[in-house]
Structure 1
Amino acid sequence: MMLGSLRYGTTVGLILINAMVLATLATEEGIFTNHLLVQLHEGVHDEAHQLATEHGYHSARKLPFGEGLFHFYPLDTAPRRTKRSLHNRQRLEKDRRVKNVLDQEGFGRQKRGYRSINEIDIKMTDPLFSKQWYLINTGQADGTPGLDLNVAEAWDLGYTGTGITIAIMDDGRLKLCNHGIDYLHPDLASNYNAEASYDFSSNDPYPYPRYTDDWFNSHGTRCAGEVSAAANNNICGVGVAYNSKVAGIRMLDQPFMTDIIEASSISHMPQIIDIYSASWGPTDDGKTVDGPRELTLQAMADGVNKGRGGKGSIYVWASGDGGSYDDCNCDGYASSMWTISINSAINDGRTALYDESCSSTLASTFSNGRKRNPEAGVATTDLYGNCTLRHSGTSAAAPEAAGVFALALEANPDLTWRDMQHLSVLTSKRNQLHDDLHQWRRNGVGLEFNHLFGYGVLDAGGMVKMAKEWKTVPERFHCVAGSLQEVHKIQSGERLILTISTDSCQGKDNFVRYLEHVQAVVTVNGSRRGDLIINMTSPMGTKSILLSRRPRDDDAKVGFDKWPFMTTHTWGEDPRGTWILEVGFQGDKPQRGALKEWTLMLHGTQSAPYIDQIVRDYQSKLAMSKKEELEEELDEAVERSLKSLLSKN
């Protein structure tokens, strides 16, 4: 059943939502919970709580999205529906005040980055500051000097995150004062934003960490410390944005996730919270294909369109910890256009063994990795007033990015969610990041990128300098560039090659001339889904790896159903011309399959945000000479242009 008022209509993102909703998700069997989405008739909204209690529910909470929508909480915390709760639901549905009732199905979400480590010139009084190599890398723990977030330059310019609130969407491991029942972590207390915090697992404003003997619930506290740990208080270390406020949103500490809880968390106080940091997602087992459900998609769309007074909420997402066995383009959160997907590197510039690669990753920060030095992990706050050197995973990387974005927002509070993505593309640095498999390449307008690291490691100093004088990017448009609906067979030993030629909706109101995100909405299946590989090449010659081999994925039935594979690698390019899709199998055993649809969706601007001259020079020279003779000249021209742009900011 679909609630009529939840239709997204013609607002921005319709095509993406339809594609995601129609996607067939390879998840575990659904769990029907006692949580309900209830739509009430007009004029009875004030009776919601009374109605809930009358029908055997604990309470009702009005949802900030949609009309007349309420979340009905159960009296108990039983993970599955009981006969009694089914009877309550049936009585509720017959109540004259109720317009619609929608069951909330439980599904799996997994915390990212909680894993053990194998023993692994600014003056601050904090004892761990000298060990926070990701802030200032002087070669600690056998790292590479200079390979860091360059926060020292941003701090020296006076930007420390003042006035910015970051929400850690997690399991509620922020320790806070529950009216004197518990205590605050001493390194987070002064920066804790109680007003913006909430516990969606227990439906109360106190996201208290549930105690466990193994300290599993330390995840959120560690992430919070990376962002907002106070400076010069002789406790633990220093946050990237040490004067920012941090809020706790507890939403993962129950046996299941629901669309309501996820959507409510993502849309919580969007006029107070500036940045949402998420270090969770579908299971990183190398065989799951999953993403946000409809309510969460609508909440995210509302966030980027209405959050922060219309400038847009900023969603930072950890790309995933599935390593070479997984592909983050199979994660509908990390691969969303509305999120900034962040990967990680270790302190010598290599990839961590758990890093997932995909074409939707925008940039990178840092985490622990292969080194056995006990100080090579991420130093931050921990439970019960403690500190740790053992924070790890891409979950450590996402909060660092949130901290850098907080510095940029302080430098320019008018930045939109898209401005932050453009700034990430322009100011991230290759630095000394390297991977043996995926080499650095330049796209059609000369921007350097890597399949693992995106556009490089975030540079806080470079970002705040550019942010100070940044002009908001032009309006965004969406063009369906073409669609192939015929069935095309695929078999091992051969590559299926398809093309779509497009004018990018030229001459229409939705013409896209300068690319931001590109989506290939694909329906394909195979005798072994994990052996499928998909590449796409732009008219300007940039090849994106949309799907890599996933050796643990044995699916032979579901495949990908209208799944929106996304790439950021063609950022700034002219999309007009011929796009090439290449599909095949990679593996030891023969496989066969069929591609049933490829729809090409282009997202970007009609006027140039900043690189028009680079594109024009490149295209005119390309028309007059051979491409090979221009490679060296183009590299030099691009470097000069980008250096000039950076120096002006």
Structure 2
Amino acid sequence: MRANSVLLGVQVLLVSVAAVLQPRRPAPRDYGAFDYFVLEHNPDSSASRHDAVGALGLEFVEQVGELKDHWLARAPKARATNVPRALAALRADAISHAHPTVRRTAARVADSIRSLELQAPRLRAKRALSSGTSNAQSLSPAAATAQRLQIRDPLFFQQWHIVNDFNPANSVNVTGVWESGITGKGVTVAMVDDGLDYNSKDLAANFDAEGSYDFNDHESLPGPKLFDDTHGTRCAGEIAAVRNDVCGVGMAYDAKIAGLRILSHPITDADEATALNYGYQSTAIYSCSWGPSDDGRSVGAPSTVIEKAMVQGINAGRGGKGSIFVFASGNGAAVGDQCNFDCYTNSVFTVTVAAIDYTNARPSYSEACAANMIATYSSGHGRAFALALEARPELTWRDIQHLCVRTAVQVNPTDPDWERTASGRAYSYKYGYGSLDTWALVEAARTWKLVGPQAWLQMPVVTLADASMEDGVLRGGEPLVLGGISHTMRITSDLVADANLYHLEHVTVRVWIRHTRRGAVSVELVSPAGIRSVLASPRERDTATEGLAGWQFMTLKHWDESPVGPWTIKISDAQSDNMEESGAFMGWSMTLWGSARDPALAVPWAVPDPARLHVAFTAPSLNVTSATATSTTSAVTLDYSISAEPSFSVTVAPSHTTSTIATLTPSHWNAGWITLLMATFVFLLLGASGCVLLFWRRWRASSHKYTSIASHHAPVMAVVDGESVLHVVGEDSDWSDNEDNDDASLLQSRTG
């Protein structure tokens, strides 16, 4: 009797655990009849999420995937335009002279709504080109491998990325991994793609139905329905096609494969966010061969709700080890596109994979940029990572990135695009740190010492000259002259220690540039060691006139470099001698990412409040007003040929280039109507204009604020006794790898 009770208890516990791990199926959508909104609720407010939804005239639908406090709601299309008006009315009533009860109720509900975003379905672009075919005549290496491993799949001999008969040295180097018994067992890879033919004889045995969902038609299974719903199936086969007598074999042929169908029709950002966290306790890898349009003129970034989903994935996926997001670098090189204009591929939280063909050359479509981490053959990104996770299940998302950097193999070593980094590794904008070597990756994973949690150093935004932004319109700034503008920011060892930063990994740079033709702009960053990262090169097709208002670039070229010393940004203009086109450099910020020196002090990264994304330039920060002529700045241009030419070649501009050196100058705070209310309050309180004047003078004398550009990630500039903590001038000490110096703390705001 007691044994039966214990057994029943265990069964109940297992069912409960399974219910927790099983992903929630999203509710069906009806975009023809309803408009959908994502409401972020403030859990500390006394108003519930239902109060907020009801006050806006919305109907509650469900939570947005795994995002806590983010809720999907809808309104009939005929009434949807009333929703933002209702929110504006709530906020107005909260500060109005209405009846106190009305005012308190409005304030309570308005405080509960952190953000509200209309969901407009958008179509994501597939990156579906192949990476070349081999003209091999002899099948002897493949035949020998098939015989040795008893592979009976009839198309195995055409899978040149596994065994390359034409160029035997050019392969993913996986067969030795199979012979060691590693085949992807226990690892699930999700294809975030179009349809997945889960009934295929090559996929059915490995299909994970629980981890799959059709977000386009809101059905349980992601089967292909359109004539071109083939991309997901092909990529899935390259990862996990069963070893049998049908077609070919997957690189991780015992891994489980899930399908998340999002590419066949337009979907909302809320649904994409849900897809990127779907089943994220069981699914390890999300393979994403898609992104913004690769047309050479677009800039594409995930919305805040999507960015939050990616951060939720790396922070909470796989029980805290983190989801592994793998993105294809882009297919737009032939039209001048670059993967640093895509904020999926230039994200700190993704592995970006460039393409190479069977000769190890870059295909004509594969985009080059400083965010490329590795290169590999064909599609099905994430297949080698499934093998590494079987060999070492405890690897985190950060370990996978480190292993990529350290085990990648240089290809085409005579290509002049390769440059030596400060750490001694070779890096190429075309190939990243090199071709992914599966054997080297898995062998390194077996004994790899797990890296610590992430840390970062956010520098405040620096504005130049009279730069400002109002209602999204950029004004002022330092005019771009022939040769460009340079600006230097100095990082001290104290700043690095205060940020708990140890080894440097990624560097992100956010820029504000005003220009009449965005595609004329070049951006590069030079590190204290003199390593130059080209962040953007001119794009002929990009004729947009809005410039770059807070766009973030990323570079991997400074991995394991010391961050201490001067970092110089250089903004050039390929058309600065054209009187009909003009531009100005308005400001920039920089964030250094790496490993935490003291893991106990590390905190997970959180996406900043969306309200900070468009803060006016007049917010407190650092203002740079001086400009002095210095040395020549090199303009950068991209060479798109596939021959032995560098991806980013240098064109030297005339010698009258200007460079700005940071000079801190206090500026007055313009508080607008808030100042007027303060003055009125003081006048009524003191009853005499003399007292008001005295208060005003004292307030001005003690003020040490700085004008600023809006920043997505940058903190407000702190001041200590009138001195900026930016330390753009002054001495810096050596960057030390001394493990004994572990008493660093997180960067704190410094106030007098």
The TM-score by the shorter chain falls in which range? 0.7 to 0.9
Residues 504 and 513, structure 1, Cα contact 8 Å, conserved in 2? no
Which whole-Å CA distance do the structure 1 matches of 2:221 and 2:161 have between them? 31
Q: 1:581 aligns with which of 553, 569, 574?
A: 569
Q: What code does the residue aligned with 1:594 have? A: A
Give the structure 2 partner of residue 288 of structure 1. Answer: 298
Alignment partner of 1:110 is 2:100 = no
1:73-99 deviations in whole A, cap 9, x for unaligned? 79xxxxxx84376689999999x9997
1:298-334 deviations in whole A, cap 9, x for unaligned? 1111110110110110000011111141111010100
Residues 187 and 389, structure 2, Cα contact 8 Å, conserved in 1? yes
Residues 1:490 and 1:153: Cα distance change in structure 2 (over 3 Å): farther
Alignment partner of 1:460 is 2:438 = yes
Alpha-carbon shift at residue 247 of structure 1 (Å): 0.2
Of 187-196 and 105-114, more deviation after overlay is shown by 105-114
Residues 214 and 260, structure 2, Cα contact 8 Å, conserved in 1? yes
Alignment partner of 1:515 is 2:510 = no
Give the structure 1 partner of residue 3 of structure 2. Answer: none
Counterpart of 2:229 in 1: which secondary structure? helix
Q: 2:262 aligns with which of 246, 251, 254?
A: 251
Of 563-572 and 521-530, more deviation after overlay is shown by 521-530
1:214-245 deviations in whole A, cap 9, x for unaligned? xx1111111111111011x1111111111100
Alpha-carbon shift at residue 355 of structure 1 (Å): 1.0
Residues 132 and 363, structure 2, Cα contact 8 Å, conserved in 1? no
1:355-406 deviations in whole A, cap 9, x for unaligned? 1111011001113xxxxxxxxxxxxxxxxxxxxxxxxxxxx2xx2x300000
Give the structure 1 partner of residue 102 of structure 2. Answer: none
Q: 1:149 aligns with which of 172, 182, 190?
A: 172
Residues 267 and 300, structure 1, Cα contact 8 Å, conserved in 2? yes
Which whole-Å CA distance do the structure 2 matches of 1:116 and 1:462 have between them? 23
Alignment partner of 1:595 is 2:599 = no
Normalised by the length of structure 2, the TM-score is: 0.63
Q: What code does the residue aligned with 1:583 have? A: I
Residues 1:35 and 1:239: Cα distance change in structure 2 (over 3 Å): same
Alignment partner of 1:330 is 2:341 = yes
Of 340-349 and 511-520, more deviation after overlay is shown by 511-520
Counterpart of 2:249 in 1: which secondary structure? coil
Residues 67 and 312, structure 2, Cα contact 8 Å, conserved in 1? no
Alpha-carbon shift at residue 441 of structure 1 (Å): 1.3
Alignment partner of 1:350 is 2:351 = no
Residues 1:520 and 1:528: Cα distance change in structure 2 (over 3 Å): same
1:224-274 deviations in whole A, cap 9, x for unaligned? 11111011x1111111111100000011222x3321011001111110100
Which whole-Å CA distance do the structure 1 matches of 2:311 and 2:354 have between them? 23
Residues 1:118 and 1:361: Cα distance change in structure 2 (over 3 Å): closer
Q: CA RMSD in A?
A: 3.4
Counterpart of 2:375 in 1: which secondary structure? strand
Q: What code does the residue aligned with 1:223 have? A: C
Residues 330 and 366, structure 2, Cα contact 8 Å, conserved in 1? yes
Matches within 5 A, 1:40-79: 60-67=61-68, 69-72=70-73
Any unmatched runs of 5+ in structure 2?
A: 1-31, 91-105, 136-143, 466-476, 600-752
Give the structure 2 partner of residue 279 of structure 1. Answer: 289
Residues 1:567 and 1:45: Cα distance change in structure 2 (over 3 Å): same
Residues 32 and 104, structure 1, Cα contact 8 Å, conserved in 2? no
Residues 362 and 568, structure 1, Cα contact 8 Å, conserved in 2? yes
Residues 229 and 239, structure 1, Cα contact 8 Å, conserved in 2? yes
Alpha-carbon shift at residue 105 of structure 1 (Å): 2.5
Residues 1:588 and 1:238: Cα distance change in structure 2 (over 3 Å): farther
Alpha-carbon shift at residue 474 of structure 1 (Å): 2.5
Q: What code does the residue aligned with 1:586 have? A: A
Normalised by the length of structure 1, the TM-score is: 0.73
Give the structure 2 partner of residue 209 of structure 1. Answer: 224
Counterpart of 1:122 in 2: which secondary structure? helix
Matched pairs, number:
517
Give the structure 2 partner of residue 222 of structure 1. Answer: 234
Alpha-carbon shift at residue 125 of structure 1 (Å): 0.7
Any unmatched runs of 5+ in structure 1?
A: 1-30, 75-80, 177-183, 368-395, 610-649
Q: 2:253 aligns with which of 224, 237, 242?
A: 242
Give the structure 2 partner of residue 635 of structure 1. Answer: none
Q: Among all aligned residue pairs of Structure 1 and Structure 2, give the percentage whose two residues are the same amino acid.
A: 34
Which whole-Å CA distance do the structure 1 matches of 2:493 and 2:222 have between them? 47
Residues 504 and 512, structure 1, Cα contact 8 Å, conserved in 2? no
> Which of 1 and 2 has higher RCO (CA within 8 Å, sep 6+)?
1
Q: Radius of gyration: which is bigger? A: 2
Alpha-carbon shift at residue 608 of structure 1 (Å): 12
Give the structure 2 partner of residue 485 of structure 1. Answer: 463
Residues 1:84 and 1:593: Cα distance change in structure 2 (over 3 Å): closer
Alpha-carbon shift at residue 555 of structure 1 (Å): 1.1
Q: What code does the residue aligned with 1:35 have? A: Y
Give the structure 1 partner of residue 527 of structure 2. Answer: 538
Q: 2:211 aligns with which of 196, 200, 204?
A: 196
Which whole-Å CA distance do the structure 2 matches of 1:467 and 1:166 have between them? 18
Residues 41 and 49, structure 2, Cα contact 8 Å, conserved in 1? no
Which whole-Å CA distance do the structure 2 matches of 1:281 and 1:153 have between them? 34
Which whole-Å CA distance do the structure 1 matches of 2:40 and 2:395 have between them? 35
Alpha-carbon shift at residue 211 of structure 1 (Å): 2.8
Residues 331 and 366, structure 2, Cα contact 8 Å, conserved in 1? yes
1:577-601 deviations in whole A, cap 9, x for unaligned? 1112111122597242111111121
Alpha-carbon shift at residue 40 of structure 1 (Å): 7.9
Residues 1:245 and 1:89: Cα distance change in structure 2 (over 3 Å): farther
Residues 1:592 and 1:38: Cα distance change in structure 2 (over 3 Å): closer
Which whole-Å CA distance do the structure 1 matches of 2:235 and 2:283 have between them? 16
Give the structure 1 partner of residue 483 of structure 2. Answer: 494
Q: What code does the residue aligned with 1:174 have? A: L
Which whole-Å CA distance do the structure 1 matches of 2:153 and 2:160 have between them? 14
Q: 2:316 aligns with which of 301, 306, 328?
A: 306
Alpha-carbon shift at residue 434 of structure 1 (Å): 6.5
Of 120-129 and 484-493, more deviation after overlay is shown by 484-493
Residues 138 and 146, structure 1, Cα contact 8 Å, conserved in 2? no
Which whole-Å CA distance do the structure 2 matches of 1:356 and 1:469 have between them? 33
Counterpart of 2:120 in 1: which secondary structure? strand
Give the structure 2 partner of residue 553 of structure 1. Answer: 542
Alpha-carbon shift at residue 493 of structure 1 (Å): 2.8
Give the structure 1 partner of residue 78 of structure 2. Answer: 83
Give the structure 2 partner of residue 605 of structure 1. Answer: 595
Which whole-Å CA distance do the structure 1 matches of 2:279 and 2:572 have between them? 45
Of 105-114 and 600-609, more deviation after overlay is shown by 600-609
Alignment partner of 1:166 is 2:184 = no
Residues 1:510 and 1:68: Cα distance change in structure 2 (over 3 Å): closer
Residues 374 and 432, structure 2, Cα contact 8 Å, conserved in 1? yes
Alignment partner of 1:417 is 2:397 = yes
Which whole-Å CA distance do the structure 1 matches of 2:269 and 2:343 have between them? 14
Q: What code does the residue aligned with 1:135 have? A: I
Residues 1:463 and 1:41: Cα distance change in structure 2 (over 3 Å): closer
